[in-house]
Amino acid sequence: MRKQYDDFTQMKLKDMCKNISDMTYTYIDPDTQKPTVVPAAHYEKILNQVQEKYMGEITSRQFLNIMFNQLNALRKEDEKYFRQALLCIDMGINPKDLRVNEQIAISYTHDYMEDKQKTEKKDFHLLSQDIIDTFNESKDNPLIQAQAINYSKEQEDLEQEDDMDYDF
């Protein structure tokens, strides 16, 4: 059974971009109750870029994924030492140089975090509330999202201008 995707991958770039634009148009924005208009040229510009440009982004995301998996595995292996190590990192303390008062403070702070997690359950976070709030605000704020996208586009344009300067 042949799917729409099979035909899509066989299209030329311009036809592909027109189809993506048409698919996007059929999405009705719940806020405005209007179709979403994205010109085909927008998709063509993205799909026509040199793939090397995205290798850095792919590498960064892969590195983040590796770090996440390692930290998550360490947390699952022994959450107590995981939290204490994070506390040491955050406080700039080397565990091998801990003084007695610092050992007591780390142990006491871990117990506090453990009690807090039991009380708050899913609302418990290792990071401070202002960091969590900043993450949520930047994730949900369309103005911040638009600024980041515009900045990224400006950087791409500057890189393209630099590339053009060296082409002759």
Residue 95 exposed, middle or buried by CB count within 10 Å (0-12, 13-18, 19+): middle
Mean pLDDT computed over every residue of the chain = 86
Inter-helix orientation angle 52-77/79-91, to 10°: 120
Q: Above pLDDT 90, what percent of the chain?
A: 37
Residue in 60, 126, 116 with CA at minimum distance from that of residue 90: 126
- Read off the pLDDT of residues 44-68 as tens digits, 9 standing for 90 and up: 888 877 665 666 777 888 999 999 9
Q: Which pLDDT band holds residue 166 (cuts at 50, 70, 90)?
A: low
More confident residue, 135 or 118: 118
pLDDT at 8: 83
The yes-or-no verdict on residue 43 having pLDDT over 90 is no
Q: pTM value?
A: 0.57
Length of the chain: 168
CA distances from 9 to 22, 38, 76 (A): 16, 20, 42
pLDDT at 54: 65
Residue 98 tokens, joined: 């801990």
Residue 130 tokens, joined: 């202002």
Average pLDDT over residues 15-36: 89
